Structure 1
Amino acid sequence: MNSSVFDFLLTAAPADADSADFAAVWARHRARSHDFASSVDRAAIAGFDSAGTGPAFLGGYQEALHALVPSLEPAELSSMCATEAAGARPSTMTTTVNEDGVVSGTKSFATLGAFADRFVVIARAGTRPDGRPILRAVLVPAGARAAVTPLPALPFAPEIPHAEVTFDAAPGQLLPGDGYADYLKPFRTVEDLHVVAAVLGQLVRVARLAQWPAESVEQLLALLATVRGVGAEDPNSPGVHIALGGLFARLTGLRTELEPLWAQVDPEVSKRWERDEPLLGVAGKVRAARLATAWRALA
């Protein structure tokens, strides 16, 4: 057994999680990372075992959801269902849930939606006196009352499947707490941290296979150490968002520093990274807004 995730990434032989059988990939990952208590560490291992950024993202995404909702069964695949045709802002959500956990409505963009065992649905449970919506998080099993329509693949990381999901009086389990404050808002940060951990794990894999200089591996592991530290804090903390802003800035700088080394990498691997690198910029405007809000909160 490796004493730390750093030792694992430096000594283990990488597996090859590059399959459309997402349940099998997830099962292999859970078995391989079983001895690591931290979901961030497990996300890094998922990335290390991934042949591309898309599969790495999916490993980080699943670890993030399981960290956010510990009641999810370890073996099951899950999908966050928040975005609707008008976006993911609480004020525009029309999907509803009643006091018995019955969900109705359509979510327009659910990652891994067609393969999920259960959906984490953010739904409107009523309206506050000031007109703001009351949101709840609901666990809804996949089934006849959750109709899934796969969406076309994106131009980058096409291995990541997305779907539209329509719930027709689908029975679910209400989760404790507020759907926005306890689930949707922190998930954006939790997902960022786990996906970055997975991407760093994948880059360590590339670095080892292509025999990049030791200094490059050191920089990747140092940034992973930062992710682990930030990941141990409250994701709703303004300071965490400020640290996350610095973390993404450093990741951008490190990617630039590593660019000349891709000439040593297998051409197909390098081409795949170039195609999928825009994935790291997704939700950049949202992160920038959160960062600005965090600074204002501490002013």
Structure 2
Amino acid sequence: MDSLLDFLLTEPAATAPLDDIAAAWIRHQVAANRFERPVDAAIAAGFGADRLGFAFLSGYQEALRTLIPDLPDDELVAMCATEEGGGHPSAIRTTLTECDGVWLVNGTKSFATIGLLAQRLVVIASVGTGSDGRNRLRATTVDAKETGVRVTDQPALSFAPEISHASVLLTEVPVRVLPGDGYSDYLKPFRTIEDIHVLAATLGWLVRVARVSGWPQTSRQRLLTAIAAVRGLDIDAPSSPGVHIALGGTFELFGEVLAELVPLWESVDPETRQRWARDRPLLAAASRSRDQRLAAAWRSVLPEADRPE
């Protein structure tokens, strides 16, 4: 098995352009097959990407495999949680019901990343309201080719337009119900797991840019330091306050490194530099939710007298 850090420093950095998600996914699988841990696979596949959007794809796919380890290695997978009312558990109206021993989902998901190309869907659905008045959720997996699944592509976003998004209509679709609670065991931890793996893949991609563009050794060293910080997070405990706090510190380090790299982008080829300027907002897309989780983590570990008002 390769040493990941050595791989990043010695693997050939020149890469042929990628035409679309299908080509990016093939390259992802080649890199991912060299590493066992999903976070390492995300970093290595991010290194092989030719743009930030395809590095995001690698992080997203490996995050789903950390959440659900038995997902097929060769299938593109989409998380389907967000609905018209948003992604909060109370907003989920898609239903999961049992009929003659078969579990069926019905509902509409409004925003599924790579939904049109996904071969398997992870669908969060409600089994009704509990005695406490809260929406009770379960996680399910669905073959995207099942009768009753209708996926509609949505207009591209202004950043990372190569990464498509879709709405998904599910009508009496048979599913596999996953063990555990749909919110606490899947939806909630996935947000943190996704942050970790997307950051990891982004850093892998930046190492490739640094090497191709001849950035100073000190810059490459800083990027590897940030990668070491990401790899050191306790991914097996994504709901832990400590993980959220350490992740917050890792994002601070990442921000410092990005600031240091600003003048070096002038040495990058124009196409890559222009894509970076266009796609960088992708990295801030979940920042508000991440900041809220960080604040909640600090509140949970600080004595009441020391908590900010």
Per the shorter chain, which TM-score range? over 0.9
Q: CA offset at residue 21 of structure 1?
A: 4.5
Note the alpha carbon deviations across 1:80-114, whole angstroms, 9 max, x for none.
00000100111111001113321100000000100
Aligned position for 1:63: 62
Deviations 1:220-259 (A, max 9, x none): 0000000001144410101111111111111111111100
Whether the 8 Å CA contact 2:116–2:152 is kept in 1: the answer is yes
2:18 pairs with 1:18: yes
CA distance in 1, matches of 2:161, 2:24: 17
Partner residue, 1:160: 163
**1:98 corresponds to:** 97
- Contact 1:91–1:132, Cα closer than 8 Å, also in 2: yes
Match of 1:292 in 2: 295
Among 111, 123, 129, which residue is 1:109 paired with? Answer: 111
**Unpaired segments of 5 or more residues in structure 2?**
303-309
Give the equivalent residue in structure 2 for 1:47: 46
Which position in structure 1 is the counterpart of 2:123?
121
Judge conservation of contact 1:40–1:63 (CA < 8 Å) in 2.
yes
Q: Structure 1 runs of 4+ off > 6 angstroms? A: none
1:75 aligned partner: 74
* Residues 27, 45 of structure 2: 8 Å contact kept: no
Letter in 2 for 1:110: A
Stretches of structure 1 lacking an aligned partner (at least 5 in a row): none
Q: Does 1:216 align with 2:219?
A: yes
SS at match of 1:115: coil
Per-residue deviation at 1:20?
Answer: 1.9
Q: 1:190-225, CA deviations, whole angstroms, 9 ceiling, x for partnerless residues?
A: 100100011001100000001100000000000000
Question: RMSD of aligned C-alpha atoms?
Answer: 1.3
**Total equivalences in the alignment:** 297
| Partner of residue 228, structure 2 | 225
Work out the CA distance in 1 between the residues paired with 2:243 and 2:16: 33
Could you tell me which residue of structure 2 aligns to residue 180 of structure 1? 183
What is the TM-score normalised by the length of structure 2? 0.93
Q: Give yes or no for contact 1:16–1:50 (8 Å, CA) kept in 2.
A: no
Q: 1:243-290 CA deviation, whole Å, 9 max, x = no partner?
A: 111111111111111000011111111111111011110011101110
Rounded Cα–Cα distance in structure 1 between residues aligned with 2:244 and 2:229: 13
1:169 CA drift (Å): 0.8
Q: TM-score, normalised by structure 1?
A: 0.96
The residue number in structure 2 matching 1:134 is 136
Identical residues among aligned pairs (%): 53
Whole-Å separation in 2 of the counterparts to 1:233 and 1:243? 14
